[in-house]
Structure 1
C-alpha cells in the first residue's frame, strides 16, 4: 500500500469512484420495479458520501494552497495519488506546514483510505472502485450473484468512521493554517530590520577612501569589485562594538587587460591581474586617543585570526609611529603581495582618515589567488540566459533585494541599475553563482551616467531603484529579458520616445505580476508587485525614510527569503 502523503491523493480519487459506482447501482435499480423501494436508501447514501467527499477535498485544497502553485493545483487534483504526490519535495513542504501534526494527520488519512477500501468491498466494487458489471439491465442478476446490501443502515458504521476521520482532518488543517498565520504575524518571528543606513554609509565611505588610494599612473586600468551580501541579521550599529564593526566587505581588485582611455598613459606590463581581500571597518572617534584606548575592548569574533590581526592593525594605525603605515598607492601595495608574504594589513587612508567617520583595514586573503590569467567575468544577465537552477535564482533574488537597501544612492549601485550591473567571476574551485559582485573604476575621466525616468513616468515609478529590482526579479524568474517577454498589447517597443518606451516596459511588468502569482507563488509575486507598483501603504517613497525602508525590508526582502527557505531549505542544489 502507498505510504505517507501519497495516500492523501488516493483517498481523493477513491471517494468519487465509490460515488460513481453507487450512482450506477441506482440507475440499474430504476430499471427493475422490485428494487425501487431501495432506491431512496442508495440515494441517501450517495448524498452522504458526496458531502464527505466535498469536505475532504476542501481540507486537502486548503492544505495545498501555498504549498503548490495555482497552476499546479489543477494537476494535483486531476491526478490523485499520481507522480506529483510522490515527489519528496512535496512531502517535505507538507511536513513544514503541518509541523508536529504531520504523523497524526497522515495516520488519520491512512485510516480513512482503509475505510474507503472497506466500502468498496462491501459494495462489491472492484479494486479500482468500479462495478463488476457494465450493463444496467443486468443489475438484478448481478445483485443475486454478488449479494451486496442495498440498505443504508448496513453502511452506517463505515460512514461514521469517514465522518469522524474527515472531522479530524478538517480540524488539524485549520489548526495548522492558524498556527502558520499567527507565526507569520508574530513580532517575535518577524525579522528585525537591519540598519541599512549604516551599511550604506560604510560602503560609500569605503568608496571615498578608494578614490584617493590610487597613486599610480595606471588608475584607469584598475577596478574594485564589491561582493553583494544578504546581511539580514540586525547587528550593524556604530555604537555596540567600540571601534570595530561587525560587518565587513569582501572585494576583488583587478588590473584590467584593456588599454587606458587616456592616450597619454602607457600600457603597463600588468605586474598583477587579480587579488582578493576582506575590508574591515574601523569606527573613528573624534580623538585618536579615544580610539586607541578602546582597541582593547574589541569584541571576540568568529574568526580568531582576523580578530587578532584586526586589533593589532587598528592599534598600529593609531600609534604616533605606527608599525603599519596608511598607504597612498593601493596599486603598489597589491603588487607587493605577489610574493609569499601576505600576512599584512593596509590602512586606508592617511589624508582621508581625519575626515572620514570610518577607517578601513584591507586584509588580503591568506593565499595568493592562482591561475588569475584564466579568471573571467560574466554578467548576471548572461548567466540567466545561459541557464541557472531555480535555487540560485531565488537565492540571488534575496541578495539583490537586500543589496538595493544597502547600496542605494551610493557609487556602487546607480538608480537605473539592472541585472547587467551585476556579474560573477569565474575562477577555478569556486562556485561563481554564490558570489555576485558590482564594480567601480576610479579613473578621474570616468563618470556614471544615470538614465533618468521621463517626467510623466515619475508618478508611475516613484522609486527607480526599487522598480529596477522588480524588473530584475521578473527576469530572474523567467530567465528572459523584459523585451523578450513583451506582448503586442503592452505597447510599442524600441521607440525614440523614451517616455513611451518606459510606459511599454511598465505595462509588460504590470501584466506579468498576475502571471507570476500562478508561476512563482504569492510571496515572490507579492514582492515583485510591491517593487513595480511601489505599493507599501506609505506616503514616503524614498529609502531615506526609515519606515519606508522597514516596509521594503518586510514586504520584499523578508518575503523573498521566506519563499527561498520554504521552497529550498530541504532540497538539493540541482533543483
Structure 2
C-alpha cells in the first residue's frame, strides 16, 4: 500500500490526466455535434473537477514545504509518480510534521487515490491515464465502442467523495500550518542574558588573574557552542538561580613570541597550551561564619570556595588535593606535573561584590603534543576541501546562537568576522565543529576596534547581526565575500572605510536574493534578516529582550531547522 507521500504523488500525477481527458472529450463533442446535449454537462464537470483539483494540489504543495527542500521542489512536482516519491525518508519527514494528524491525512489522501482511479475507469482511460483514441473526429465511433459516461450525474458520487476528502485535507493542512506558526511564536527562548553575564564575569576575573612577571602574552580561547537547550528560558523569574548545564570550555595559551627584552634570551616557555572547563556560578549571600571570607582581597587567584560549610565539605571531598596558588600563569605551569585533580577559583573585584564565582577545572589528562598545536582562522579554512557543507551549516547555527550569547562582551567585537573565529589544529586533524574566540591578556593596552562610519548606521542597522549575515553567506558559498564581488556592487579595496563598507553591503544585499534559490527559504530568510535587520520591530538592540526573541526565532531557529532538514539529523546543542 502506498505511503502518505507516495499517495500524494499518485494524486498529483493522475489529476492533470483526468482534466486533460475531459477537455479532449469536450472538444470531441464540439466536433461531432451529435452529442451536444452532453457538452454543457461535461464542461460543468470539468470546471467543478478543476476547482477541486486546484485545491488538492495547493494542499499537497503546502504539506511538502518542510518535507522537500525548496531546490528539489520543482523536480519533485514535475515527476509526481517518480521514484523519489517512494523514498521512505520523505514519508518520515511528513509523519514528523503532521504528528497525530498523519493517520487522518493518510485516510484522506488514499480516498483521493481511490476516487481518481474510479474517475479513470468511468472515462475509460488506458493504463497510462489517457483516452484510448487520439482523433477528435472519431469521437462518435469510440464513444459507441467504449461506452464511457458523459453525464454529470454519473460522476456525482465521485465528486462528493473527492470533495469530502479535499475538505479534510484542506483542514489538516491549514491547521498544521497554523500550529507551526504559533509554536514558533511560543517557542521558549534560552536565557542568553544569563550566559552573557557569565561570559563577562569570566573575562573580568581573567583580567586580574595574571599576576606573573613573565611579560608574555597569555591567550584565552573560549569555545563557541549553540547552548540552545542547556539553560532555563528567560521567561522564568529568578535569573540568578539559573545554572548552565554545560560549562564554558576554554584553552589557555602561553605565547613567548611577545616576551619583552628585559627577559633573558631563549627563555623557555613554562607551559604551552592548557585545556579546562569553567563554571561561572551565582554566589549566594554571604552571612554567618563564612562572611569573613568575602573580605579577603579578591585580586588574583585562590582556592575554589563556597559560602556554606556543606558546600565547602562537598568541594573538599571531590577535590582532596586542592593547593593554594598565587596566580593563574603559575597555577597552569604546575599542571604540567602528574597531579591535575585541582580546581581554581577566580573572583575579580569588578564582579559586583562577588556576584559570580569563577571555577576553573583543568582536564584530568594532560593535553598531548601541545607543542605541535596551531590555530587557523575561519578565513583560512573556508576553502578547505575537508570543511564540508554539513560542517559549515552546523557552524552557522553555532555562530548565530553565539551572537546572542556574547554580543557587547569583550569576547565578540561589534565588527567580528572570519578573522575573529579560530580553530585549533592538532596533529593530523582540525575539529571544524569546535570554533573559538580569543582574548589576549598582557600589560599592553589593547588595540581599539575602529568604529563604523556614522553615515553607514542607517544602512547597517545592527553591526553584529550584519557580521553574522556576511558569515552565513561566506559559509554557504565557502568563499570570502570579497571573492563574490561583482562590478555592479561598486568599487572595492579603495582604502576608504565608508566606500569599501558600502560595496561590501551591496554585495551581501545582492546575494540575499540569490541565496533563496540556492539555499532555500529558511536559510535565505535568516540571511536577509541579518543583512537588512529585517524584523519588523522598532528596537534594533540585541539587549532588548523582545528583539532578541525575534532574532532567535527568525535566525537561529531557522538555521537549526534548515540544518536538520538538509541532513536529516538533529543539530547538536552542546
The TM-score bracket by the shorter chain reads: 0.7 to 0.9
Q: Which residue of 2 aligns with 1:295?
A: 308
Q: Which residue of 2 aligns with 1:118?
A: 118
Measured in 1, the distance between the counterparts of 2:14 and 2:422 equals 52
Q: Which residue of 2 aligns with 1:319?
A: none
Please tell me whether the aligned partners of residues 93 and 567 of structure 1 are also in contact (alpha carbons under 8 angstroms): no
TM-score by length of 1: 0.83
Q: Which residue of 1 aligns with 2:358?
A: 360
Residue 505 to residue 30, structure 1, CA distance change in 2 (3 Å) = same
Larger mean Cα displacement after TM superposition, 542-551 or 452-461: 542-551
State how 1:256-275 maps to structure 2 within 5 Å.
256=255, 259-260=257-258, 262-265=260-263, 266-275=265-274
- What's the secondary structure of 1:459's corresponding residue? coil
Measured in 2, the distance between the counterparts of 1:166 and 1:496 equals 62
- What's the secondary structure of 1:438's corresponding residue? strand
- What's the secondary structure of 1:368's corresponding residue? coil
Q: Which residue of 2 aligns with 1:203?
A: 199
Measured in 2, the distance between the counterparts of 1:271 and 1:461 equals 45
Deviation of the 1:11 alpha carbon: 0.8
Please tell me whether the aligned partners of residues 227 and 436 of structure 1 are also in contact (alpha carbons under 8 angstroms): yes
Deviation of the 1:413 alpha carbon: 1.5
- What's the secondary structure of 1:421's corresponding residue? coil
Deviation of the 1:336 alpha carbon: 2.5
* Alignment of 1:102 onto 2:106: no
Larger mean Cα displacement after TM superposition, 106-115 or 385-394: 385-394
- What's the secondary structure of 2:138's corresponding residue? helix
Q: Which residue of 2 aligns with 1:399?
A: 398
1:343-364, CA deviations, whole angstroms, 9 ceiling, x for partnerless residues?
Answer: 1122336988997543422211
Residue 326 to residue 333, structure 1, CA distance change in 2 (3 Å) = closer
1:64-87, CA deviations, whole angstroms, 9 ceiling, x for partnerless residues?
Answer: 345545554433322213355344
- What's the secondary structure of 1:493's corresponding residue? coil
- What's the secondary structure of 1:63's corresponding residue? helix
Q: Which residue of 1 aligns with 2:299?
A: none
Residue 235 to residue 76, structure 1, CA distance change in 2 (3 Å) = closer
Supply the RMSD in Å over aligned alpha carbons.
3.6
Please tell me whether the aligned partners of residues 218 and 268 of structure 1 are also in contact (alpha carbons under 8 angstroms): no
Q: Which residue of 1 aligns with 2:302?
A: none
- What's the secondary structure of 1:434's corresponding residue? coil
Stretches of structure 1 that go unaligned for 5 or more consecutive residues are 300-306, 317-321
Q: Which residue of 2 aligns with 1:516?
A: 515
Larger mean Cα displacement after TM superposition, 286-295 or 4-13: 286-295
Measured in 1, the distance between the counterparts of 2:352 and 2:232 equals 28
- What's the secondary structure of 2:329's corresponding residue? helix
Residue 289 to residue 162, structure 1, CA distance change in 2 (3 Å) = same
Measured in 2, the distance between the counterparts of 1:273 and 1:566 equals 41
Q: Which residue of 2 aligns with 1:386?
A: 384
Deviation of the 1:118 alpha carbon: 2.5
Q: Which residue of 1 aligns with 2:184?
A: 184
Deviation of the 1:404 alpha carbon: 2.0
- What's the secondary structure of 1:338's corresponding residue? coil
Q: Which residue of 2 aligns with 1:302?
A: none
Measured in 2, the distance between the counterparts of 1:47 and 1:195 equals 55
Residue 64 to residue 444, structure 1, CA distance change in 2 (3 Å) = same
Measured in 1, the distance between the counterparts of 2:88 and 2:215 equals 54
Deviation of the 1:110 alpha carbon: 1.9
- What's the secondary structure of 1:419's corresponding residue? coil
Q: Which residue of 2 aligns with 1:220?
A: 216
- What's the secondary structure of 2:335's corresponding residue? helix
- What's the secondary structure of 2:10's corresponding residue? helix
Deviation of the 1:437 alpha carbon: 0.8
Deviation of the 1:240 alpha carbon: 2.0
Residue 547 to residue 29, structure 1, CA distance change in 2 (3 Å) = closer
Measured in 2, the distance between the counterparts of 1:293 and 1:435 equals 31
Q: Which residue of 2 aligns with 1:81?
A: 81
Q: Which residue of 1 aligns with 2:435?
A: 436
Q: Which residue of 2 aligns with 1:340?
A: 338
Deviation of the 1:16 alpha carbon: 0.6
Stretches of structure 2 that go unaligned for 5 or more consecutive residues are 295-304
Q: Which residue of 1 aligns with 2:329?
A: 331
* Alignment of 1:194 onto 2:195: no
Measured in 1, the distance between the counterparts of 2:553 and 2:169 equals 33
Please tell me whether the aligned partners of residues 208 and 348 of structure 2 are also in contact (alpha carbons under 8 angstroms): no
Larger mean Cα displacement after TM superposition, 17-26 or 388-397: 388-397
Q: Which residue of 2 aligns with 1:38?
A: 38
Please tell me whether the aligned partners of residues 70 and 521 of structure 2 are also in contact (alpha carbons under 8 angstroms): no
- What's the secondary structure of 1:420's corresponding residue? coil
- What's the secondary structure of 1:114's corresponding residue? helix
